[in-house]
Copies of this chain bind each other. A is one copy, B any other.
Amino acid sequence: MKPGRSNRRRFLQSGAGLGAALAAGAGLAADDTKPASEQPAPDDPTKVQGRRASAYGERSRFETAVRTVQEHNSLTPLAAMTGIITPNALHFERHHAGVPDIDPRRHRLMIHGLVDRPLMLTMDDLKRFPAVSRIYFMECSGNGSRRTGLRTVQEAGLTSCAEWTGVNLSLLLREAGVRTGANWIVAEGSDAAKMTRSVRLAKAMNDVLVAYGQNGEALRPEQGYPVRMFVPGWEGNISVKWLRRIKVVDAPYQTREETSKYTDLMPSGKARQFTFEMDPKSLITFPSGGQKLQGPGFYEISGLAWSGRGAIRRVEVSTDRGLTWKDAILQEPVLPLAYTRFRHAWKWDGSEVVLQSRCTDEHGDTQPPVEALLKARGENSTYHFNAIQSWKITADGNVENGFA
């Protein structure tokens, strides 16, 4: 490390240092043993000249919501979210061999197999094609698969929503010239797992993106930088990240991730395979587990709903464990295959209650009660868990897991 100015800058960049520096600038006593969020701010900000503009912004030192980091995952803090867009820094992660370090100038995407003109594309080549941008949710097929209910809504945070930008895969496939006999594609990532999944050609030609943009900037590394496949509405792992190869083939490849993983063992002893589409699902994010209501009175129940089959048409909310249901308000814009934010005005009388939400999509598909889902799927099926979730509010205002 170099001494002097360089060290000082680094010190200022670190969390505690920033708080201390801000406090010092305002003539306040800083305490270096505490994190930035606990350093004092000026009593009267109008008496202190503020800091200058910056090249790349950071959030307030008082904001501390983060992803829950697990071994191969991180979960979006859904309770802290507003609106439908997930900021890139908080988009959930799921990887099979960590986040690779890829230089975009050296990355290539190959499109080959049953095609007339195999392609080898640089990132510059890819960005030369016409682009599209779409707001889409993404959800891991294993999200929220807890038979015993959630303690916090972040436990079901293997889902996020962003504006994705890229090239229609159909365009690239037309450029390559798909041959007769082709029925599927196989996509492969550049991670150490060489994550590989098969997709029906019909879907590939419909709405699949080869995406390089996320909420206005480049994909984040943990989301597949510099380029990923994005398969709208389908379980997240199929949207192969760090995409390096698409092979056009006659039949699915029966890869590890579509045989030993990402299949659902049914009561019959047979496994459901290629359970592509995510079922309709909704989560009340406020009030949700771990929060505490400050006494009886007015509250707005708020949450997120989505379906892998299209747009959300209806979200109902129950405040009596499913005995009666009322329609929630759907926040515009209601976009297909994207989060829909719902809101429902509610007056809490201070008694113990159980809150639930249930969404229905444009095809009339809806969420089942947990008992019905478990009965249909049996004991060994863990993916695609979209049962109605329950939050119990105790008389003292604590919000807890509400499974009966």
Using a CB–CB cutoff of 8 Å, the interface residues on chain A facing chain B are: 1, 7, 10-11, 13-14, 22, 25-26, 40-42, 45-60, 62-63, 65-67, 69-74, 80-91, 93, 95, 97-106, 124, 128-133, 135, 163-165, 190-192, 194, 212-222, 225-226, 242, 294, 298-300, 302, 331, 333, 335, 341, 343, 345
Contacts and interface: CB of A to CB of B under 8 A. Distances in A.
Given A130-B345, A216-B85, A335-B333, A69 B42 contact: no
Given A1-B7, A50-B191, A50-B192, A57 B102 contact: no
A interface SS class: loop
Given A10-B14, A129-B300, A343-B130, A218 B63 contact: yes
B333 A82 contact: no
Given A53-B71, A59-B221, A131-B300, 17 more contacts: A25-B101, A41-B103, A45-B101, A45-B190, A49-B98, A50-B95, A50-B99, A53-B93, A60-B218, A60-B219, A63-B218, A82-B212, A82-B213, A83-B213, A83-B215, A131-B343, A333-B333
A186 to B, nearest CB: 16
26 contacts: A1-B7, A1-B11, A22-B101, A42-B101, A45-B242, A49-B98, A50-B95, A50-B97, A50-B99, A51-B99, A52-B99, A53-B70, A53-B71, A53-B74, A55-B66, A57-B89, A57-B90, A57-B221, A59-B221, A82-B131, A83-B215, A84-B133, A130-B300, A131-B300, A132-B331, A133-B331
A47 to B, nearest CB: 7
Contacts of A90: 56-57, 216-217
A90 B213 CA distance: 14
Contacts of A222: 53-54, 57
Contact of A216 (B42, B82, B106): B82
B59 A100 contact: no
Nearest to A93: B53
Contacts of A40: 103
Contacts of A65: 217
B60 A226 contact: yes
Interface centre among A11, A221, A294 (most CB of B within 10 A): A221
A221 B60 contact: yes
A90 B218 CA distance: 12
A266 B112 CA distance: 63
Contacts of A104: 60, 62
A142 to B, nearest CB: 15
Nearest to A339: B216
Contact of A10 (B10, B54, B57, B97): B10
A192 to B, nearest CB: 5
